[in-house]
């Protein structure tokens, strides 16, 4: 699997990402599909391809939020607009699920998709910090 270098021996992801942007190398950028603009209190979107917004969360080396923003999607099906998300330069995507083609596109870009059961962003970030998320490798449709 393409993520082996980003794992520790027990299979959990390292907190240090492969962020390609302007953050310090110990910081991590996580992008989460959300249904509202309420920062870390936003509800996760149930349908990745039709999400109206994406929460962009930057964490420091201790897992603390150092920056957060919300960006609007175009409202179109995001299977075709993956470059928009890649331009956000995430280390990880956190979602309930998504289609196989989108998963493959993120894997090709070396961005891991982590599955969460959380309903709001702050709970998903807590799960990430605790190492409770697993990689999403199979699509929901």
Domain boundaries, the chain: 4-135
Q: For residue 102, what pLDDT is reported?
A: 87
Nearest to 121 by CA among 89, 96, 87, 85: 96
Contacts of 94 (CB under 8 A, 6+ apart): 30, 31, 32, 113, 114, 115, 116, 124, 125, 128, 133
CATH class of 4-135: alpha beta
- Decide: residue 98, CB within 10 A, 0-12 exposed, 13-18 middle, 19+ buried: buried
Task: Average pLDDT across each block of 10 residues of the chain; the chain has 141 residues. List them in order.
Answer: 38 42 69 96 91 95 94 65 86 93 89 95 96 86 56
Prediction pTM value: 0.80
Give the rounded distance of the alpha carbon of 110 from its chain centre: 12
DSSP classification of residue 52: S
């Amino acid at each position: 699997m393409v993520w082996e270098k980003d794992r520790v021996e027990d299979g959990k992801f390292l907190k240090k990402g492969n962020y390609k942007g302007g953050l310090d190398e110990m910081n991590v950028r996580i992008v989460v599909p959300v249904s509202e603009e309420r920062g870390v209190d936003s509800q996760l979107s149930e349908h990745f391809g039709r999400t109206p917004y994406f929460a962009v969360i930057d964490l420091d080396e201790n897992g603390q939020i150092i920056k957060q923003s919300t960006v609007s999607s175009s409202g179109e099906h995001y299977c075709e607009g993956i470059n928009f998300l890649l331009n956000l330069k995430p280390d990880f995507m956190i979602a309930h699920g998504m289609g196989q083609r989108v998963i493959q596109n993120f894997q090709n870009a070396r961005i891991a998709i982590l599955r969460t059961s959380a309903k709001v962003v702050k709970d998903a970030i807590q799960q990430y910090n605790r190492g409770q998320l697993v990689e999403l490798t199979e699509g929901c449709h």
